Amino acid sequence: AQSVTQPDIHITVSEGASLELRCNYSYGATPYLFWYVQSPGQGLQLLLKYFSGDTLVQGIKGFEAEFKRSQSSFNLRKPSVHWSDAAEYFCAVGLRNTGFQKLVFGTGTRLLVSP
Amino acid sequence: DTGVSQDPRHKITKRGQNVTFRCDPISEHNRLYWYRQTLGQGPEFLTYFQNEAQLEKSRLLSDRFSAERPKGSFSTLEIQRTEQGDSAMYLCASSPRPTYRGGSSYEQYFGPGTRLTVT
């Protein structure tokens, strides 16, 4: 079955430090991959996506992610974290073997930013 | 810029009562999705509409749950005889009609959600 694993439940990063959030997926075909961010009590905002082509994708708010097929990973990175980045981050796989785009999400990583 | 809207944002109900949530997608988006998110978990797919047709339902969607999209615009999700286990955030998302090359048609835009608490 298709699945997404985010091994880190919580991560604390100092403001200005770099960030990497891990995501591994299990899916038989080439996936569509997404990172979403969710602030407390809010819906999800799309940060970036990978469909095909260049495996390093740029997103909003200075985030980037790299697709590594050999590792089944799609890790999210940011070179310098801001206090406003504190939120929950979800990695998702889009299942293209269905007739539509069903998203399977990981359990999320909560990012805490220390001063 | 009008995004996906959901109403109400919060709902507290007693066990056994019926509740109904509404979702208004981004205009001209013909695809609409419902997800459920429980505490500490990622969203889980519930159901999908293309225009007014409900084309997919998750096994999570028990007989007490029903969703409609009568005119291919807004959608409603009704839960009958609510149980405490129904307490969750219910998220709605929409996406545009697919283009020949796919691309942005695979992006789903989420609303703020409706938080349901069953006491």
pLDDT tens string B18-52 = 999 999 999 989 899 999 999 889 999 999 999 99
Q: Contact B11/B117 with Cβ under 8 angstroms?
A: yes
Strands A87-95 and A32-38 turn out to be antiparallel
pLDDT tens string B79-94 = 999 999 999 999 999 9
Question: Which of B1, B55, B106 best probes binding to A when mutated, by most A CB atoms within 10 angstroms?
Answer: B106
| E strand or H helix that includes residue A58 | strand A56-58
Q: Shortest Cα distance from A97 to chain B (angstroms)?
A: 13
Query: Given an 8 Å threshold on Cβ–Cβ distance, is A45 in contact with B55?
Result: no
Which residue in the set A42, A100, A103 is minimally distant from B50, CB to CB? A100
What pLDDT is stored for residue B45 in this prediction?
93
Which residue in the set A90, A94, A99 is minimally distant from B42, CB to CB? A90
Name the more confident of A53 and A87.
A87
Query: Given an 8 Å threshold on Cβ–Cβ distance, is B48 in contact with A106?
Result: no
On the CB side of A36, CA atoms within 13 Å amount to: 25
Which three-class secondary structure state does DSSP give residue A52?
coil
Confidence of residue B72 (pLDDT cuts 50, 70, 90): confident
Three-state SS letters, chain B: CCCCEEECCEEEECCCCCEEEEEECCCCCCEEEEEEECCCCCCEEEEEEECCEEEEECCCCCCCEEEECCCCCCEEEEECCCCHHHCEEEEEEEECCCECCEHHHHCCEECCCEEEEEC
